[in-house]
Structure 1
Amino acid sequence: MAHRLKKEQQFSYIEVGEGTPIIILHGLMGGLSNFDAVTNFFSQKGYKVVIPELPIYSMPLLKTNVKNFANYLKDFVEFKGFESVILLGNSLGGHIGLYHTKMYPNKVKALVITGSSGLYESAMGGGYTKRSDYEVIKKKAQDVFYDPAVATKEIVDEVYETVNDRNKLIKTLAIAKSAIRHNMSKDLPNMLTPTCIIWGKNDSVTPPEVAIEFDQLLPDSELFWIDKCGHAAMMEHPEEFNKLLFTWLEKRQF
């Protein structure tokens, strides 16, 4: 199901359903459509699912960092008039959610992270020396998933276009450096927000030990594993992902 992108003021976003707001934060090269299954499921379960387009490639280079994306999210939450939200982030989106939660804990009732950066970022900005070689980029896109078939031609084409756009590549590298600078290991023990961690057991981008470390450092977290699953659990095993998250939200009465 294709969802219409709304454009209001400086914000572009998808909004589906009514109820408690779940704001979804996409990753560095993750399209909004990566969350179609999550959007369709939760918008029919009493939640308002909102996916803002993050200004990853449109912010000035000097402002292209995790902290400014977290502040952009704050502006978006205020623009929408939400009192308290559930944040769900994948990869870089998880890091932005974590940083936003650190800065504005009263605005976040629950946090959900999957394949999140914030502790381990070595794979984010590297490996683009052969970016003009389509097959190399295809392999890199496939490696994100346990099942390489999930990396459709559309996904590979989008990654290829991104890394071969000089402006986008420079910003990708800036974000990778920013992710390392904004390491969350010292912040996490002070973050009391209930956090659901859903992780692919076969994630090669942010390996399983990263999830274990998140779970150990966060005071109020639960960790759930999805087998035969890579870096984007909500795409590779959408039904299992939705079931785990819905059960956790119900148990915690969110």
Structure 2
Amino acid sequence: MNFVVKEEKGFRYVEEGKGEVLLLLHGLMGALSNWEYVIEEFSKEYRVIIPMLPIYEMPLLTIGVKTLSKFINKFVKYKELDNFIVLGNSLGGHVALIYAMSYPEKLKAMVLAGSSGLYENAFGGSFPKRESYEFIKGKVEYTFYDPKTATKELVDEVYASVNDRHKIIRLLAMAKSAIRHNMAKDLHKIHIPVALIWGKNDKITPPEVAVEFNQLLPNAELTWLDHCGHAPMMEQPEEFNRILKGFLEKFKV
């Protein structure tokens, strides 16, 4: 599926379909294409919007998960969104959680998959072998249960990013910000319904992270996906969409 990326007022985003809004937030190494199967399935009934998070455009001194949440608030205002459902994978989930803390009145519900915010075993503090294609390939494959999910296109994209000095500095700064910003003490304040859709074989945000989210969020439900790593909407798209559909049915007007 080819997405038309719109560029308006400093925002880059994809928007497909009509109806209630699903706002999708990608992860640190993610891209709009990570949500391809969700767009294909849900744009038939929903207005699906995916803003591109400006990780590489942010000044170094302002990089952080809170800054990304402020960016999402500006985007929501620009698009005049209200009473919508937010979905976040990895860093995108973390940003969604911060946004939900600040603007609970805007959200109807939230879906998290492999979200950071409690603990994550990310790429680590540096890329000692970032020039090595095989090393990066192994790191990308580590994200998934089935290494074949890490397509050459995906590996090429990550390899290019980590070998771009401008980008890698910002990636590492953002990763450190996410690790420092632990939300364990704040999650009890988020009362909207939350669906946790988690890969049982997630090595980045392991199963115990999902269990802790489920315990700390007052109105959460946790569903596991077998043979699935950190990006269930990519690795088990049919099952992910089935679970998501069941959750969304509860909020249909």
TM-score band by shorter chain is over 0.9
Matches of 2:67 and 2:122, distance apart in 1: 21
What is the identity, as a one-letter code, of the residue corresponding to 2:16?
Answer: V
Moved more, 173-182 or 231-240: 173-182
Stretches of structure 2 that go unaligned for 5 or more consecutive residues are: none
Shift of 1:109: 0.9
Q: What secondary structure is seen at the aligned counterpart in 2 of 1:202?
A: coil
1:112 corresponds to? 111
2:93 corresponds to? 94
Q: How does 1:1-254 map to 2 (within 5 A)?
A: 1-44=1-44, 46-126=45-125, 128-253=127-252
Shift of 1:251: 2.9
Normalising by structure 2, report the TM-score. 0.97
Matches of 2:91 and 2:216, distance apart in 1: 19
Answer yes or no: is the 8 Å Cα contact 2:126–2:172 preserved in 1.
no
Give the aligned CA root-mean-square deviation in angstroms: 1.1
Normalising by structure 1, report the TM-score. 0.97
Quote the sequence identity (%): 56
Q: What secondary structure is seen at the aligned counterpart in 1 of 2:95?
A: helix
Matches of 2:227 and 2:179, distance apart in 1: 28
**CA offsets 1:7-42 (integer angstroms, 9 cap, x no match):** 111111000000111010000111111111000111
Matches of 1:141 and 1:48, distance apart in 2: 30
Answer yes or no: is the 8 Å Cα contact 2:22–2:84 preserved in 1.
yes
Aligned residues: 253
What is the identity, as a one-letter code, of the residue corresponding to 2:163?
Answer: N
Shift of 1:222: 0.4
Matches of 2:123 and 2:151, distance apart in 1: 20
Matches of 2:34 and 2:120, distance apart in 1: 21
Shift of 1:122: 3.5
* Runs of 4+ with >6 A deviation: none
Answer yes or no: is the 8 Å Cα contact 2:123–2:139 preserved in 1.
no
Moved more, 152-161 or 121-130: 121-130
Answer yes or no: is the 8 Å Cα contact 1:205–1:231 preserved in 2.
yes
Answer yes or no: is the 8 Å Cα contact 1:125–1:172 preserved in 2.
no
Answer yes or no: is the 8 Å Cα contact 2:13–2:52 preserved in 1.
yes
Stretches of structure 1 that go unaligned for 5 or more consecutive residues are: none
Matches of 1:210 and 1:222, distance apart in 2: 14
Matches of 2:251 and 2:224, distance apart in 1: 19
Shift of 1:252: 4.3
Matches of 2:123 and 2:213, distance apart in 1: 18
What is the identity, as a one-letter code, of the residue corresponding to 2:65?
Answer: V
Answer yes or no: is the 8 Å Cα contact 2:28–2:175 preserved in 1.
no
**CA offsets 1:59-96 (integer angstroms, 9 cap, x no match):** 11111100010010000001001122111010000000
Shift of 1:248: 1.1
What is the identity, as a one-letter code, of the residue corresponding to 1:38?
Answer: V
Answer yes or no: is the 8 Å Cα contact 1:121–1:176 preserved in 2.
no
Q: What secondary structure is seen at the aligned counterpart in 1 of 2:160?
A: helix
